[in-house]
Amino acid sequence: MDRDSEPAIPAYEPADVDLTDPSLYLNRELSALAFQRRVLHEALDQRNPLLERVRFLAIVTRNLDEFTMKRIGGLKQQIEADVTETAPDGRTPEEQLAAVHETLRPMLATQARCYRDAIRPALAAEGIEILDYDDAAAAEQSELRTYFEESVLPTLTPLSFDPAHPFPFISNRSLSLAVLTRHPNAEDPTFTRIKIPPNRPRLVQLGDDTRYVLLEEVIRANLDLLLPNVEIVDTALFRLTRNAEVRRNQEIAEDLIDMVEDVLEQRRFASVVRMELSPDADSRIRSTLATQLGLDEREIYDLPGPLDYRDFAELTDLDRPDLSLDEWTPQPHPRLNGHRQQSFGRPDTTDPSVFRRIQDGDILLHHPYHDFTDTVQRFLSAAAEDPDVLAVKAAIYRTASDSQIIQSLITAAENGKQVAVMVELKARFDEQNNLEWVRKLEENGIHVAYGTVGLKTHTKTALVVREEDDGVELYSHIGTGNYHSETAKGYVDLGLLTADRDIGRDLTKVFNFFTGPSLDEEFRELLIAPVTMRKEFTRCIRREAQHAQAGRPARIVAKINGLEDPGIVAELYRASMAGVDIDLIVRDICRLRPGLEGISENISVYSLVGRFLEHSRIFYFENGARGDPATEDDWGDPEYYIGSADWMTRNLDYRVEAVTPVTSPKIQRQLRFTLDLLLSDNRKLWEMDSDGEYHQRYPDDGERVISAQDILMREALKAGRSEDLITGIPGDYPIAGDLCITGDGTEQPTETGAESKPLTESEGECTVSDADTTDEPFEVTDGGNPDEVLATYSDRWYVPDSVVYNYAVRTPDGERRYLKTKAGVTDLLERLYSDTE
């Protein structure tokens, strides 16, 4: 379909609402920290197994380190560059930085209290003790002193700061011990920095027991062996975080590889943006560090030790199933599970190839429920070995350090296939890893593109070109996550394997852009940023508003990682005011305020934080699917999309992204089930209020606990005996969904216990297009008194058994409409019945 030929849909413009009003937008940085509070809650939540809480304690440190390096570092750069432009919420960079420090400080204090008052005592009660050095027995202290002298001391390099020695360089995120020493008869003490060695175990085990002393405590207690013949005046732990926002202008860089290597070198010596310091540190230690590192008071965080919880993740490897979540092993995909081995390891030659299975119908991959190695890796391995494959192309943003994906591409080249790889050198914090892969690929004669000027390549796509009996076929993989075997075990991502020729042709254009001079602006199926994606998402949102204005049911559900783009937020506000029911499952940053009277009453914002990181992107636009199209109408089928892009300005305008439509009714049903399930979660789901605060949903007394990730794991296990991950909504799960699926004659889902209405043959044959723009839209009125309207039409509505919707309205044609607000019910009832009664 040539989307450029479709008529433009004008924006719904409500009266008396200024969508540029800063009060309508939340701050990006504070929203990101709100997500980290939800992550921290997993460590605080006593319902979680103890070692799972420890894991999240470590995750919080890693996440807040990255936030500090990227976001605080970026704000400091803006301030130093005298940037005064305000963010959409009206704050200047200086105001944002002050708010960030004010928000971050109590979060880190809460993390420290969580360890000290909750997790450490709970571990001790379970026989896992983290002792202070002085609490170890005398014999144990003697063993620790021997260990220090033999295994730790030789690795240490004390660096003093005095007239004969410059202030030492202190690396990013390294844990250090500041020591004040005084020589006999000397008046002033000397400052010395000792780096806690990262190549020694941080948790020093006592004997064979699960009893530990922290390495920094062992070093502190034995300083007399490292610094003899001086008085130890005072010691203090500290830890620095440096700015990650160091850049060179790509437009003037002679060579992209040189530029990236230069960035990596600059990052090592970048300015310090935060220092964590023991709260009882001697004032001379504090002033020395602040002066030499150029820190002001707000950048110094006084925190009790331990200052770095990342190493505590080692405890999760203990053999304590009673303190851990049940282990999860990603499952083979049912559609690809015909790959069997006969005795003595000989392959079963009767098994159809992966390409034959894709030809039989599109395949949806859902990681980590599906095994990455058995699906994506198998697809590329088969391409490398198959003699009929002519070419293999892949876009790599992040990949594992021992990537089998890369090895498959090398094997393909060795087997004489044309191989082209896009490796994004500018993938933050993966630059060094990607540089090494670039060199290895080029050493094997593979053409590698490094990136594009002004854009990051964030798309997760692969293309296989195969010679078959009836001509050349194109096999595509479009994913939401990286080609990374390790993160695929802990990140929730989706991928589509398809032989759709139009999608293959679109991907061909994208890969040609990586090596050619320009990016095509016309695509048959894929939404491609930065050329078509913003326009197409805007069109879809406006189309829903048009359906709502015409009195038809209208709904948008988006599952994304971030909603930051002010333009998309404004479009969603307009759609809500037009009457569109909108559910947003946003893991992380969200600028939009739900529940604002007269503006976003029809919008709900949720966030799910669980054992796996929610990373998939799903977009659902109802497109009049619950309406009653006449034969001349060309709307009626819902549209589903998945892909690599979030609704953030960087994704829509400054990255190469790919989002694919999903047209298979079976796969649409799987996506619908996933969305309904997430919206029904009452164990890990959070809901945002209009102030930007989140509240976790809890089951009512006696209500069944619904954990979406747990259910999807169980469904993946059951699916081994089926052709799909989900064959339908399982009857034993009370899913309170209202998403509509057409095109295959299945039933429309309704609330639990409600009667389902089969689709008619005509409904199953509707095609996807724009709404009929010639329809006269209904005017959205203020309506009468809500309570009076509800009383007048008391037989037309009821309260459904739903955690998502507060009202259900019976329509004249026997359908049901589900709504969240009294105002929405009032308006709908008057639309449907005021002229007929």
Q: Give the model's pLDDT for residue 350.
A: 43
**What would the mean pLDDT of 401-414 be, rounded to a whole number?**
88
Q: Give the model's pLDDT for residue 444.
A: 77
Q: Give the model's pLDDT for residue 750.
A: 34
**What would the mean pLDDT of 456-464 be, rounded to a whole number?**
92
**What would the mean pLDDT of 58-62 be, rounded to a whole number?**
97
Of the listed ranges 165-169, 297-301, 351-355, 715-719, the one predicted with least confidence: 351-355
- Rounded to an integer, what distance in angstroms lies between the CA atom of residue 528 and that of residue 659? 7
Of the listed ranges 38-42, 202-206, 257-261, 277-281, the one predicted with least confidence: 257-261
| Full strand arrangement of the beta sheet holding 211-214 | 129-131, 211-214, 203-205
Q: Give the model's pLDDT for residue 723.
A: 58
- Rounded to an integer, what distance in angstroms lies between the CA atom of residue 445 and that of residue 302? 53
pLDDT-derived band at 630, boundaries 50, 70, 90: low
- Rounded to an integer, what distance in angstroms lies between the CA atom of residue 210 and that of residue 130? 9
**What would the mean pLDDT of 467-479 be, rounded to a whole number?**
95
Q: Give the model's pLDDT for residue 443.
A: 81
398 compared with 346, residue with greater pLDDT: 398
Is the model's pLDDT at 17 over the cut of 90? yes
Structure tokens at 426: 């500018």
Q: Give the model's pLDDT for residue 498.
A: 98
Is the model's pLDDT at 728 over the cut of 60? no
pLDDT-derived band at 335, boundaries 50, 70, 90: confident
What angle, 0 to 180 degrees and rounded to 10, lies between the N-to-C axes of helices 93-113 and 73-80?
150
- Rounded to an integer, what distance in angstroms lies between the CA atom of residue 597 and that of residue 689? 12
Q: Give the model's pLDDT for residue 371.
A: 94
Identify residue 715 by its one-letter amino acid code.
Answer: E
Pair 404, 378: CB distance under 8 Å: no
Pairing of strands 418-423, 447-449: parallel
Is the model's pLDDT at 215 over the cut of 80? yes
- Rounded to an integer, what distance in angstroms lies between the CA atom of residue 434 and that of residue 429? 10
pLDDT-derived band at 739, boundaries 50, 70, 90: low
CA within 13 Å, CB half, 562: 20
Q: Give the model's pLDDT for residue 515.
A: 75
Q: Give the model's pLDDT for residue 740.
A: 52
Residue carrying the six token digits 């058995």: 374
First to last CA, the chain: 44
CB neighbourhood size of 596 (10 A): 17
Among 596, 582, 597, smallest CA distance to 820 is for 582
Distances in whole angstroms, Cα of residue 750 to Cα of each of 60, 109, 737, 787:
39, 46, 6, 26
Is the model's pLDDT at 766 over the cut of 70? no
Q: Give the model's pLDDT for residue 247.
A: 55
| Full strand arrangement of the beta sheet holding 190-195 | 159-161, 190-195, 175-182, 231-242, 272-277, 300-302
Is the model's pLDDT at 686 over the cut of 90? yes
CB neighbourhood size of 781 (10 A): 11
Residue carrying the six token digits 């899913």: 735
Among 244, 294, 295, 238, smallest CA distance to 268 is for 244
Q: Give the model's pLDDT for residue 269.
A: 56
Determine which helix (DSSP H) or strand (DSSP E) holds 396, and give its type and residue range. Answer: strand 389-396
- Rounded to an integer, what distance in angstroms lies between the CA atom of residue 608 and that of residue 367? 16
Pair 656, 530: CB distance under 8 Å: yes
Q: Give the model's pLDDT for residue 336.
A: 87
- Rounded to an integer, what distance in angstroms lies between the CA atom of residue 51 and that of residue 53? 5
- Rounded to an integer, what distance in angstroms lies between the CA atom of residue 12 and that of residue 571? 8
- Rounded to an integer, what distance in angstroms lies between the CA atom of residue 72 and that of residue 736? 41
Q: Give the model's pLDDT for residue 783.
A: 41
- Rounded to an integer, what distance in angstroms lies between the CA atom of residue 303 and that of residue 309? 12
Per-residue pLDDT tens digits for 778-789: 233 334 577 888
Cβ-based neighbours of 18, under 8 Å, separated by 6 or more: none
User: Beta strands of 518-562 (E only): which ranges?
Assistant: 527-529, 555-560
Annotate 26-58 with DSSP letters as a single string.
--HHHHHHHHHHHHHHHHH-TTS-HHHHHHHHH
Share of the chain above pLDDT 90, in %: 63
Is the model's pLDDT at 289 over the cut of 60? yes
Is the model's pLDDT at 186 over the cut of 60? yes
pLDDT-derived band at 682, boundaries 50, 70, 90: very high
CA within 13 Å, CB half, 638: 29
Pair 272, 293: CB distance under 8 Å: yes
- Rounded to an integer, what distance in angstroms lies between the CA atom of residue 236 and that of residue 238? 6
Of the listed ranges 242-246, 252-256, 529-533, the one predicted with least confidence: 252-256
Per-residue pLDDT tens digits for 297-327: 999 999 998 999 999 999 999 999 999 999 9
Q: Give the model's pLDDT for residue 4.
A: 45
Q: Give the model's pLDDT for residue 724.
A: 55
Is the model's pLDDT at 771 over the cut of 90? no
Average pLDDT score, the chain: 85
Pair 457, 656: CB distance under 8 Å: yes
Q: Which residues pair with 235 in a beta bridge?
A: 179
Active centre residues (catalytic): 458
Structure tokens at 136: 């170890």
Q: Give the model's pLDDT for residue 252.
A: 35
Cis preceding-peptide flag for 530 (omega within 30 of 0): yes
Per-residue pLDDT tens digits for 694-714: 999 999 888 889 999 999 999
pLDDT-derived band at 504, boundaries 50, 70, 90: very high
